[in-house]
């Protein structure tokens, strides 16, 4: 059974009043509740994506000893709204030779792929939109849509820069999906489940219960996942599809105004989702450091702030990495993926499987405590 | 407990629908607010300020094709490993740990064999290096001689 936010709310008393108010029409009620929550998710995600651009510029300014945006609002924090208004009012230019339908479709593919991943994003034990029983599997599958969007963007523009960027993007995203999938497989093996709810529930309690510290192989798998995720979201040092010093701006060279904005928004939200998934799979997710028996809405809110905090910490690392490391060359990129990350990921998987059998599924901490 | 009709993959469809709505809304606002003064030159593809030469839709480099093929093989293999990984713990708790481990390893060995083969063939090199092609050209005639 897939738990949704509605089934969670149904256990509270106020839900009975609502059902009494709506009478027989319970489909309408569940639809309204679900749409309200989905709307909140979309709004929060879009804000986080917008603030991501601000954070990126501010942190890069810090790293390079500049001021960064500081005019719009306090500390320039409203810069992303100003950027959004500017993008909407920009002239919409499309090359005459472009494939019009695919040109329109490409940013939509990116956006749909990213928003669909938000549906299973584990924010708390109750408020996750839907806790699919094939959660991680679904997430890996649906996030590939972004790769399709990138390639379509490059292909439909009919510009040589875009074409090169799109081809690089497609080959990069599909290549790095392998180490990421195998790292996620490692966690599936440890947890014995594909649903985010179960995976996070298995890491309940203090830091030693986190899967990243479960065994040495899971520890390495975390880094493999993180590097692969950086590459999948086209972040530096793997931002070859949009390498601005070589390919002008890669697959979105021909995109202006709002359509470019959607590409950027999708990228920043995807970075957040990827960080959140890393936090949920490896870093204990939304669990409180102590075990709480009671289940109340304030506790759900604390859980939400915990996972958002962890994701934002990883988000900071992503930006930090971008402004610290130089970009890779395209053949280095491929050899890192296929010759280093994939074999390491397979090694981790085998190591984890053997560990589980030899130590009867105990974690390192449990072995050291020696119970 | 009230019955919930929004179940299964329906939430996913709703989220996708919201993404489409956001996209259309942004487009609509852009159409209303943006200025429109298209000129002939503005609507050409960017090629460093020159008038573009030919179309960008030319033949693909074969490297991209090989990477795509390897990806599909690996993806299918990892998809098939997900169910095994999911029941691994259960089987382990039932005392069938060694058996499921052997099944798992035999599955992964196919994957390892695949990557080793691609590596040996030089398909994992983005640019097939001179050494690989040179080795081949040296090896083949000497074999013929020995035979």
3-state DSSP of B78-138: HHHHHHHHHHHHHHHHCCCHHHHHHHHHHHHHHHHHHHHHHHHHCCCCCCCCHHHHHHHHH
Terminal Cα distance for chain B, rounded: 79
C-alpha closest to that of A122 among A199, A193, A51, A191: A199
- Rounded distance, CA A277 to CA A127, Å? 16
| A7 contacts on B by Cβ (under 8 Å) | 1, 4
- Rounded distance, CA A180 to CA A345, Å? 8
pLDDT of A265 strictly over 80: yes
Residue A182 and residue A348 in contact, taking contact as beta carbons nearer than 8 Å: yes
Distance of CA A219 to the CA centre of its chain: 20
- Rounded distance, CA A339 to CA B124, Å? 7
Q: Please give the C-alpha separations between residue A224 and each of A57, A82, A219, A220, A273, in angstroms, as whole numbers.
A: 27, 37, 9, 6, 17
**Tokens 């027989």 -> residue:** A24
Among the ranges given (A94-98, A114-118, A185-189), the one the predictor scored with the smallest mean pLDDT: A94-98
Q: Is B94 on the interface with A (CB under 8 A)?
A: no
- Rounded distance, CA A106 to CA A152, Å? 5
Of the candidates B4, B23, B92, the beta carbon closest to that of A357 is on B92
Q: Return mean pLDDT, chain B.
A: 76
pLDDT over 90, % of chain A: 7
- Rounded distance, CA A231 to CA A242, Å? 12
- Tell me how crowded residue A144 is: count the other CB atoms within 10 A of its CB: 15
Confidence of residue A248 (pLDDT cuts 50, 70, 90): confident
Of the candidates B7, B36, B111, the beta carbon closest to that of A91 is on B36
C-alpha closest to that of A86 among A258, A252, A255, A266: A258
- Rounded distance, CA A110 to CA B20, Å? 11
- Angle, vertex CA A149, rays to CA A148 and CA A152, nearest 5: 85
Condensed to tens digits (0 to 9), the pLDDT of residues A299-342 reads 888 888 888 999 999 999 999 988 888 888 878 888 888 888 88
- Rounded distance, CA A203 to CA A213, Å? 10
φ, ψ of residue A131 in degrees (nearest 5): -95, 80
Give the 3-state secondary structure of residue A218. helix
* DSSP E strand stretches across chain A: 3-4, 130-131
Of the candidates B9, B18, B67, the beta carbon closest to that of A115 is on B18
- Residue B30 distance to chain A (closest CA, Å): 5
pLDDT for B2: 43
Predicted TM-score (pTM) of the model is: 0.87
pLDDT for A24: 65
Q: Do A253 and B1 make contact, defined as CB atoms within 8 angstroms?
A: no
Q: Please give the C-alpha separations between residue A306 and each of A255, A303, A313, A344, in angstroms, as whole numbers.
A: 37, 5, 11, 30
Confidence of residue B43 (pLDDT cuts 50, 70, 90): confident
Confidence of residue B129 (pLDDT cuts 50, 70, 90): low
- Residue B102 distance to chain A (closest CA, Å): 10
Among the ranges given (A139-153, B32-46, B132-146), the one the predictor scored with the smallest mean pLDDT: B132-146
Residue A124 and residue A304 in contact, taking contact as beta carbons nearer than 8 Å: yes
């Amino acid at each position: 059974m897939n738990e949704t936010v509605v089934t969670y709310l149904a256990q509270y008393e106020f839900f009975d009043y609502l059902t009494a108010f709506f009478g027989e029409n319970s489909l309408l009620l569940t639809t309204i509740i679900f749409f309200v929550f989905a709307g909140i998710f979309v709004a929060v995600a879009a804000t986080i994506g917008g603030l991501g651009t601000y954070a990126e510029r501010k942190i890069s300014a810090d790293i390079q000893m500049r001021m960064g945006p500081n005019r719009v609002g306090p500390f320039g924090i409203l810069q992303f709204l100003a950027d959004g208004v500017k993008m909407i009012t920009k002239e919409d230019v499309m090359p005459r030779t472009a494939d019009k339908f695919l040109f329109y479709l490409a940013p939509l593919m990116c956006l749909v792929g990213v928003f669909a991943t938000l549906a299973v994003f584990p924010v708390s034990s109750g408020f996750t939109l839907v806790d699919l029983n094939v959660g991680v599997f679904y997430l890996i599958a649906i996030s590939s849509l972004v790769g399709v969007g990138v390639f379509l963007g490059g292909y439909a523009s009919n510009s040589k820069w875009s074409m090169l960027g799109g081809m690089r993007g497609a080959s990069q995203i599909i290549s790095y999906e392998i180490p990421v999938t195998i790292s996620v497989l490692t966690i599936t093996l440890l947890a014995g489940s594909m649903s985010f709810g179960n995976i996070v529930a298995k890491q309940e309690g203090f830091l030693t219960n986190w899967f990243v510290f479960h065994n040495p192989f899971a520890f390495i798998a975390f880094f493999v996942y993180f590097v692969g995720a950086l590459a999948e979201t086209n972040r530096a040092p793997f931002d070859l599809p949009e390498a601005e010093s070589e390919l002008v701006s890669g697959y979105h060279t021909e995109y202006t105004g709002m359509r470019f904005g959607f590409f950027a928004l999708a990228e920043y939200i995807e970075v957040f989702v990827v960080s959140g998934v890393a936090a949920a799979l490896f870093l204990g997710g939304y669990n409180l450091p102590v075990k709480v028996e009671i289940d109340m809405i304030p506790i759900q809110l604390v859980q939400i702030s915990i996972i958002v905090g962890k994701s934002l910490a990883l988000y900071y690392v992503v930006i930090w990495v971008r402004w610290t490391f130089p970009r890779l060359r395209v053949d280095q990129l491929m050899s890192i993926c296929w010759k280093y990350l994939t074999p390491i990921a397979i090694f981790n998987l085998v190591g984890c499987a053997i560990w589980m059998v030899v130590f009867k599924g105990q974690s390192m901490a449990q072995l050291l405590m020696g119970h | 407990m009230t019955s919930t009709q929004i179940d299964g993959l329906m939430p996913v469809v709703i989220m996708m629908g919201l993404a489409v709505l956001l996209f259309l809304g942004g487009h609509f606002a852009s159409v209303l607010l943006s200025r429109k003064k298209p000129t002939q030159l503005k609507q050409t593809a960017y090629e460093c300020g020159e008038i573009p030469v030919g179309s960008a839709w030319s033949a693909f480099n074969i490297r991209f094709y090989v990477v795509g093929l390897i990806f599909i093989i690996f993806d299918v293999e990892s998809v098939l490993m997900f169910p095994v990984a999911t029941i691994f713990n259960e089987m382990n708790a039932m005392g069938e740990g060694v058996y499921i481990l052997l099944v798992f390893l035999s599955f992964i060995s196919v994957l390892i064999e695949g990557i080793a083969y691609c590596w040996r063939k030089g398909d994992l090199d983005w640019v097939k290096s001179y050494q690989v092609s040179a080795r081949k050209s040296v090896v083949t005639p000497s074999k013929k001689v020995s035979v």
